[in-house]
Amino acid sequence: MLLSIAVWGILLVYVNAQSTCPEGWVSNLEACYHISRDTEEWMMAEDMCKLYGASLVSIETPNEDLFLSDYLRNHTDVYTSHEFWIGLSDWELEGNFIWVPERLTPLYKNWGPGEPDNDHLDQHCTVINTREHYQWYDRTCNQKYGYICEKTTDPGIIIG
């Protein structure tokens, strides 16, 4: 919406600030997040994020983790899932979790007690568990959970 007012020959223009994130996405600093209401397996969740020029979220700081936890906490009535895929996996080397697709070792971690535990020797993907204090848990990648996509608001930076 654009509103113009002429006062004493001076034209003042007011513009409502528009979010740089697409509809259905939420903004935090220089990133946009989409928290899916659908459930998918980890690989399909990553593919769904790629359709929007995004990837599964890489949570790099306590502040980013707190933002996502608070958002999920304040919107529990919207989501059917209580666990959400994030982009952390140890597929390449057991016990060596990296952010996919950047292939970066996390500096910040928020694992739940005893995690990652690689239960049944096949848990290589990571979720935020809203029933367990919004901490991270490794899961079998072919389970279906909600997922969180992330992309930058800076058109010069591409995530994924």
- CA distance to 1, 5, 47, 106, per residue, from 14 (Å): 9, 8, 40, 42
The predicted model gives 69-91 an average pLDDT of: 93
What pLDDT score does 22 carry?
A: 93
Most confident listed range (4-18, 69-83, 138-152): 138-152
Per-residue pLDDT of 114-128, as tens digits, reads 999 998 889 999 999
Per-residue pLDDT of 82-109, as tens digits, reads 999 999 999 889 999 999 988 999 999 9
DSSP 86: E
Q: What are phi and psi of 69, to 5 degrees?
A: -60, -45
**Is pLDDT of 68 > 50?**
yes
CA 43 to CA 137: how far, in whole Å? 17
- Coil, strand or helix at 65: helix
Class of domain 25-152: alpha beta
H or E segment and range at residue 85: strand 83-89
Per-residue pLDDT of 2-59, as tens digits, reads 333 343 444 333 333 345 899 999 999 999 999 999 999 999 999 999 999 999 999 9
Region at 14 (left for phi over 0; alpha for psi -120 to 50; beta for the rest): beta
* Token pair recorded at residue 31: 């990133």
The predicted model gives 54-74 an average pLDDT of: 97
* Token pair recorded at residue 106: 């996390």
Amino acid code (one letter) for 93: L
Domain ranges within the chain, ordered by starting residue: 25-152
pTM of the model: 0.83
Number of C-beta neighbours around residue 102 at 10 A: 13
From 65, 82, 59, 81, select the one nearest 129 (Cα to Cα). Answer: 82
Contact by Cβ (8 Å): 137, 115: yes
Contact by Cβ (8 Å): 16, 1: yes
What pLDDT score does 119 carry?
A: 87
What pLDDT score does 38 carry?
A: 94
Q: What are phi and psi of 131, to 5 degrees?
A: -90, -5
